Amino acid sequence: MTPSPLAAIRFADEDIDSFVAGLIAELRPQGWRLSGVVQSRGRADPECHCADMDLTSIATGEVFRISQPLGNGSHGCRLHPGALAQCAAALDRELDASPDLLLLNRFGRGESEGRGFRDLIARALDLGIPVLTAVQPTYAEAWAAFGGELACDMPMDFQAVLAWAQSQREARNAA
Protein backbone atom coordinates (compact mmCIF):
# COMPACT_ATOMS: atom_id res chain seq x y z
CA MET A 1 0.00 0.00 0.00
CA THR A 2 1.32 3.44 -0.92
CA PRO A 3 1.64 5.91 1.95
CA SER A 4 -0.54 8.99 1.98
CA PRO A 5 0.22 11.61 -0.69
CA LEU A 6 0.07 14.27 2.04
CA ALA A 7 2.94 14.20 4.50
CA ALA A 8 4.47 16.44 7.12
CA ILE A 9 7.92 16.28 8.63
CA ARG A 10 7.64 16.87 12.37
CA PHE A 11 10.28 19.21 13.74
CA ALA A 12 10.83 21.45 16.74
CA ASP A 13 14.07 23.42 16.96
CA GLU A 14 15.92 21.62 14.17
CA ASP A 15 16.98 23.47 11.01
CA ILE A 16 14.15 22.36 8.74
CA ASP A 17 15.12 24.84 6.01
CA SER A 18 18.55 23.24 5.53
CA PHE A 19 16.91 19.82 5.66
CA VAL A 20 14.50 20.79 2.86
CA ALA A 21 17.35 22.30 0.83
CA GLY A 22 19.16 18.97 1.18
CA LEU A 23 16.10 17.12 -0.13
CA ILE A 24 15.97 19.38 -3.15
CA ALA A 25 19.69 18.86 -3.78
CA GLU A 26 19.12 15.09 -3.67
CA LEU A 27 15.96 14.96 -5.82
CA ARG A 28 16.78 17.44 -8.61
CA PRO A 29 19.72 15.48 -10.07
CA GLN A 30 17.43 12.44 -10.22
CA GLY A 31 15.16 14.31 -12.63
CA TRP A 32 12.44 15.26 -10.18
CA ARG A 33 10.17 18.10 -11.31
CA LEU A 34 9.71 20.06 -8.09
CA SER A 35 7.40 22.88 -7.16
CA GLY A 36 7.13 24.71 -3.89
CA VAL A 37 9.18 26.99 -1.70
CA VAL A 38 12.08 27.01 0.71
CA GLN A 39 12.36 29.58 3.46
CA SER A 40 15.35 31.70 4.33
CA ARG A 41 15.83 34.35 6.96
CA GLY A 42 17.72 37.58 6.54
CA ARG A 43 19.33 39.77 9.13
CA ALA A 44 17.23 40.91 12.07
CA ASP A 45 15.68 44.33 11.62
CA PRO A 46 17.20 46.75 14.16
CA GLU A 47 13.69 47.98 14.98
CA CYS A 48 12.34 44.50 15.58
CA HIS A 49 13.40 41.29 17.29
CA CYS A 50 12.82 39.14 14.19
CA ALA A 51 14.68 38.55 10.95
CA ASP A 52 13.06 39.02 7.56
CA MET A 53 11.50 35.88 6.12
CA ASP A 54 11.69 35.05 2.42
CA LEU A 55 10.25 32.17 0.43
CA THR A 56 12.06 31.16 -2.74
CA SER A 57 10.28 29.23 -5.47
CA ILE A 58 12.02 25.93 -6.10
CA ALA A 59 10.96 25.96 -9.76
CA THR A 60 11.60 29.59 -10.74
CA GLY A 61 13.85 31.12 -8.09
CA GLU A 62 11.36 33.95 -7.51
CA VAL A 63 11.68 35.37 -4.00
CA PHE A 64 8.69 36.40 -1.90
CA ARG A 65 9.25 38.51 1.23
CA ILE A 66 6.57 37.19 3.58
CA SER A 67 7.48 39.27 6.62
CA GLN A 68 6.44 42.83 7.22
CA PRO A 69 7.92 45.53 9.43
CA LEU A 70 5.72 46.26 12.42
CA GLY A 71 7.77 49.02 13.98
CA ASN A 72 10.02 49.60 16.94
CA GLY A 73 9.32 47.43 19.96
CA SER A 74 6.73 45.28 18.23
CA HIS A 75 6.49 41.67 19.31
CA GLY A 76 3.57 40.54 17.14
CA CYS A 77 3.64 38.11 14.25
CA ARG A 78 5.35 39.66 11.24
CA LEU A 79 3.84 37.25 8.72
CA HIS A 80 2.40 39.26 5.82
CA PRO A 81 -0.80 37.44 4.75
CA GLY A 82 -0.99 39.32 1.44
CA ALA A 83 2.55 38.35 0.46
CA LEU A 84 1.86 34.75 1.42
CA ALA A 85 -1.27 34.83 -0.77
CA GLN A 86 0.80 36.16 -3.71
CA CYS A 87 3.27 33.33 -3.23
CA ALA A 88 0.45 30.77 -3.09
CA ALA A 89 -1.01 32.15 -6.34
CA ALA A 90 2.35 31.81 -8.09
CA LEU A 91 2.72 28.24 -6.83
CA ASP A 92 -0.82 27.46 -7.94
CA ARG A 93 0.19 28.37 -11.51
CA GLU A 94 3.20 26.05 -11.22
CA LEU A 95 0.86 23.12 -10.56
CA ASP A 96 -0.30 23.34 -14.19
CA ALA A 97 3.07 21.82 -15.17
CA SER A 98 2.20 18.73 -13.07
CA PRO A 99 5.33 18.57 -10.90
CA ASP A 100 6.32 15.30 -9.26
CA LEU A 101 6.13 16.86 -5.80
CA LEU A 102 4.88 20.04 -4.13
CA LEU A 103 7.29 20.88 -1.33
CA LEU A 104 6.15 23.55 1.13
CA ASN A 105 8.38 24.97 3.84
CA ARG A 106 5.77 24.91 6.61
CA PHE A 107 2.23 24.25 7.65
CA GLY A 108 2.20 27.13 10.10
CA ARG A 109 0.23 30.04 11.39
CA GLY A 110 -1.41 31.04 8.11
CA GLU A 111 -2.55 27.50 7.39
CA SER A 112 -3.70 26.92 10.96
CA GLU A 113 -5.93 29.99 10.59
CA GLY A 114 -7.48 28.72 7.35
CA ARG A 115 -5.28 30.70 4.95
CA GLY A 116 -1.74 30.36 3.69
CA PHE A 117 -1.15 27.30 1.52
CA ARG A 118 -4.31 25.35 2.46
CA ASP A 119 -6.09 25.82 -0.88
CA LEU A 120 -2.86 25.13 -2.76
CA ILE A 121 -2.41 21.85 -0.89
CA ALA A 122 -5.99 20.82 -1.66
CA ARG A 123 -5.59 21.65 -5.36
CA ALA A 124 -2.33 19.71 -5.61
CA LEU A 125 -3.95 16.65 -4.07
CA ASP A 126 -6.94 17.00 -6.42
CA LEU A 127 -4.47 16.94 -9.32
CA GLY A 128 -2.74 13.85 -7.93
CA ILE A 129 0.41 15.75 -6.94
CA PRO A 130 1.87 14.59 -3.61
CA VAL A 131 2.56 17.28 -1.02
CA LEU A 132 5.35 17.38 1.55
CA THR A 133 5.47 20.05 4.24
CA ALA A 134 6.81 20.49 7.77
CA VAL A 135 4.97 21.07 11.04
CA GLN A 136 6.10 22.33 14.43
CA PRO A 137 4.38 21.16 17.62
CA THR A 138 2.57 24.51 17.92
CA TYR A 139 0.56 23.71 14.78
CA ALA A 140 0.25 19.93 15.16
CA GLU A 141 -3.41 20.07 16.19
CA ALA A 142 -4.35 22.31 13.24
CA TRP A 143 -2.39 20.01 10.92
CA ALA A 144 -4.21 16.94 12.21
CA ALA A 145 -7.58 18.67 11.77
CA PHE A 146 -6.67 19.75 8.23
CA GLY A 147 -5.11 16.52 7.00
CA GLY A 148 -7.29 14.10 8.90
CA GLU A 149 -6.81 10.47 7.95
CA LEU A 150 -5.33 11.50 4.60
CA ALA A 151 -2.16 12.94 6.15
CA CYS A 152 0.84 11.12 7.51
CA ASP A 153 3.57 12.38 9.81
CA MET A 154 7.25 11.60 9.41
CA PRO A 155 10.29 12.15 11.56
CA MET A 156 12.99 14.51 10.36
CA ASP A 157 14.88 11.57 8.88
CA PHE A 158 16.43 12.09 5.44
CA GLN A 159 16.19 8.46 4.27
CA ALA A 160 12.60 8.07 5.49
CA VAL A 161 11.51 11.21 3.64
CA LEU A 162 13.32 10.14 0.46
CA ALA A 163 11.64 6.72 0.67
CA TRP A 164 8.23 8.39 1.06
CA ALA A 165 8.92 10.64 -1.94
CA GLN A 166 10.06 7.72 -4.08
CA SER A 167 6.93 5.73 -3.18
CA GLN A 168 4.82 8.69 -4.30
CA ARG A 169 6.68 8.97 -7.60
CA GLU A 170 6.30 5.25 -8.27
CA ALA A 171 2.57 5.40 -7.49
CA ARG A 172 2.08 8.34 -9.89
CA ASN A 173 4.05 6.62 -12.65
CA ALA A 174 2.01 3.42 -12.21
CA ALA A 175 -1.32 5.27 -12.44
CA gap 66, 45 in Å, rounded: 14
Give the chain's domains with CATH numbers.
6-37+80-174 (3.40.50)
DSSP 3-state of 51 = strand
pLDDT at 154 over 80: yes
Helix 16-27 × helix 158-174 angle, to 10°: 40
CA gap 113, 2 in Å, rounded: 30
Model pLDDT, residue 69: 61
Q: Indicate the residue type of 26.
A: E
Cα 139 to Cα 8, 25, 70, 119: the distances in Å are 11, 27, 23, 17
The pTM (predicted TM-score) of the whole model is 0.88
Return the DSSP state at 101.
Answer: E
Model pLDDT, residue 54: 84
Contact call for residues 156 and 12 (beta carbons, < 8 A): no
Residues 99-118: tens digit of each pLDDT: 999 999 999 988 998 988 99
CA gap 154, 97 in Å, rounded: 27
pLDDT at 77 over 60: no
Residues 49-68: tens digit of each pLDDT: 566 788 899 999 998 877 76
Model pLDDT, residue 124: 98
Mean pLDDT of 89-104: 96
Closest-CA residue to 119 (of 141, 164, 87, 148): 87
